[in-house]
Structure 1
Amino acid sequence: MAMEEAIRMDTLIDQKVEDGVFMTDAVKQVSALSEFKLKGLRNIQKEEYVRAKTLQFAHALEENQFLKAKVLRKLPQFEVDDATVEMYQDGVKSAINQRAGNLVALKDGDNFRKVVRGFGDDIQRDRMQVDDEALKAPEIQGPIQKDLVASFKYHNTISPEAFAKDRDRLVKMGIVDAGEINKLPEIQTFARDRMVGSFNYHNTISPEAFACERDALTNIGVLSAGEINKLPAIQDAAKGMLVRSVKYHNTISPEQFGKERDAFVNLGLFDAAEVISFLRCNQRSRTC
């Protein structure tokens, strides 16, 4: 009975989509039909209703119809009581974890990534019933890592905490290790390039803005402040800025040079003795 109802609903939804109705609207329209509503409040009626809805949801996942599954994920609250909703949610979570586990076993990393992206809050490592070796397979890790690299590049130095949220969500599921993600070559290269760009952009005018962006990356564990400060491109740029600063301010406003020098010292780029040393070298036209 439940299977027949699920099949009828799916058929009607697919027909509406073929006729040009958006998936979200198609699901709502079909679900609103009286034949697919909860028939009564007796336990057996609730169970039959939930079984049909769960089968329909699970079938959408099996067919990789993730948009449909996303719409089916939530029952219309005004039609059912809390107990029925809870019963359905339990069935849905089981279906999500079962499908995620099957995709790992099949090494279907692309669709696994989509399940994680769409239903990650419901995924539990132990309920997927997969071993570590299967989960760490390149076919699975590759698409997941690609998503996280894209997240890092999108949020970059403006909101790295948003990337950290995406990363930590997957860590919580037991799918990735935060340290391994932070050290991915693409993330490391992009982070370093962004830091060099940030330093060159803010230079002696607003080094504190560079410090904020640097510290944000440090806080999520991608790079340490020391690693960023000692990047050759940042060191060379900082030395060049201070050389130009001392020449520009000269004896007219040496206190302004002092402020710019102290700002860089406070950032941890150099200590005062290092600044004196390379400025002297520059005056003597020596390579230091």
Structure 2
Amino acid sequence: MKFVDEFRDPDKARHLVKQINRLVEKIEITRHRPLQLMEFCGGHTHTIFRYGIEQMLPDCIEMIHGPGCPVCVLPMGRVDDCVELAERPDVIFTTFGDAMRVPGSKKSLLQAKAEGADIRMVYSPLDALALARKNPDKQVIFFALGFETTMPSTALTVKQAKAEGIQNFSLFCNHITTVPTIKAILDSPDMQIDGFLAPGHVSMVVGEQPFEFVADTYDKPIVITGFEPLDILQSIQMVLQQLAENRHEVENQYTRVVPKAGNAAALSAVTEVFELREFFEWRGLGSIDHSGVKMRSDFAGYDAERKFQVA
């Protein structure tokens, strides 16, 4: 398949692995302990496991798998809130399919659906808005979650609902942000991570600038990375090249998708609809300051937390 097979070429992979092996010999750290590189994004982790990339790397490189799956890090309390909303008789609760099985303290959305709650899987927030148009006698709630990648589509859907005057549509907002979370990881007293693979799809929206603090403040190399196996290997090679040259910069391996400044239209929509929360809880990580967003007061009528008084 054009533009896919090229990034899965075994010969190119072997060439990159040879470069990686040559570079680690030049890095002083590897003489004392394993070199620890973190891929933040769950999509990267999937590629690493699917293609056996860890097995291709020298023993002195240890991949640390980051918290980059917004479904996996959703805390039980927020799932409980979803179930409570979904079980209201006047509600159609809509969600992406991968959130259906996430356990709450008592049940998942899938279990609530089996017990009779009107919970429907959708492919986009626009599908939920279409349901609101078709069911004016029901309150349609969209379970909004994901990193900056999915925030623009949610924001634009809310703007569309407001423009059309659709009053029976709202969001239960659980969007989370990458930068405060990376900072929390870097501030951990036990942190020994030597370099980062930055999330490609998030960067497509936010650009390179938000990650500059990793290099400027913490002196760590960080490379914005695509999702094919050669993307991962090349990004590891780029991080190692920086370490070998004693550099720490933001570099963009995923140039075919990620513009330096991100997507201005997407960022504008996100800024118009959302603002940072004071803190947000992550499953397994606890509370992280400013790591989630909520809806601005101008869109309070489309905020399920306000509309249904979610605690």
- Bin for the TM-score computed over the shorter chain: under 0.3
Which one has a larger percent helix, Structure 1 or Structure 2?
A: 1
Which one has a larger percent strand, Structure 1 or Structure 2?
A: 2
Question: How high is the TM-score relative to the length of structure 2?
Answer: 0.24
Over alpha carbons, which structure has the higher Rg?
A: 1
